[in-house]
């Protein structure tokens, strides 16, 4: 009976190790997701700017930029930018 108990213990140890590695691989963090630290949570990734034509807030990096009469304006689309310029010309 001693050999039977040893085999049983070895079997359970191997089973436990196998389950451990299986669960570890299932719950492993996704490598494509960036890990953040507590400091980086408070950092602003991109500034939001308001389109003067339609009032939509957009990331500054993705906005269309126009310098009109020395002032910089940010627009969500080319259409809004052209419409804004057109309205300024009509006001003259």
User: What's the domain count of the chain?
Assistant: 2
Local confidence band at 38 (pLDDT 50, 70, 90 cut-offs): low
Q: Could you tell me which residue, 24 or 73, shows the higher pLDDT?
A: 73
H-helix segments, the chain? 2-26, 78-91
Q: Is residue 17 part of a domain?
A: yes
Q: What is the pLDDT of residue 24?
A: 85
Q: What is the pLDDT of residue 28?
A: 76
In terms of residue numbers, what domain contains 51? 45-91
Q: Provide the CA 30 distance to its chain's centre, in angstroms.
A: 14
Between CA 66 and CA 72 the distance in angstroms is: 6
Between CA 30 and CA 64 the distance in angstroms is: 34
Q: Is residue 39 part of a domain?
A: no
Q: Which letter does DSSP use for residue 42 in this model?
A: G
Q: Is residue 40 part of a domain?
A: no
Which span out of 3-12, 23-32, 37-46 was modeled with the highest average pLDDT? 3-12
Q: What pLDDT digit, counting tens, does each position of 66-80 carry?
A: 998 899 999 999 999
Q: Is residue 85 part of a domain?
A: yes
Q: What is the pLDDT of residue 26?
A: 84
Q: What is the pLDDT of residue 34?
A: 53
For residue 70, give every residue at least 6 positions away whose Cβ sits within 8 Å of its Cβ, in sequence order, or none.
Answer: none
């Amino acid at each position: 009976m001693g050999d039977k108990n040893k085999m049983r213990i070895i079997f359970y140890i191997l089973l436990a190790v196998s389950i451990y590695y299986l669960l570890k691989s299932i719950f492993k963090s996704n490598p494509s997701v960036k890990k953040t630290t507590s400091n980086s949570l408070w950092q602003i990734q991109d500034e939001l700017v308001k389109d003067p034509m339609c009032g939509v807030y957009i990331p500054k990096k993705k906005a269309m930029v126009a310098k009109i009469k020395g002032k910089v304006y940010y627009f969500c689309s080319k259409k809004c930018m052209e419409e804004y310029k057109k309205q300024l010309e009509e006001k003259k």
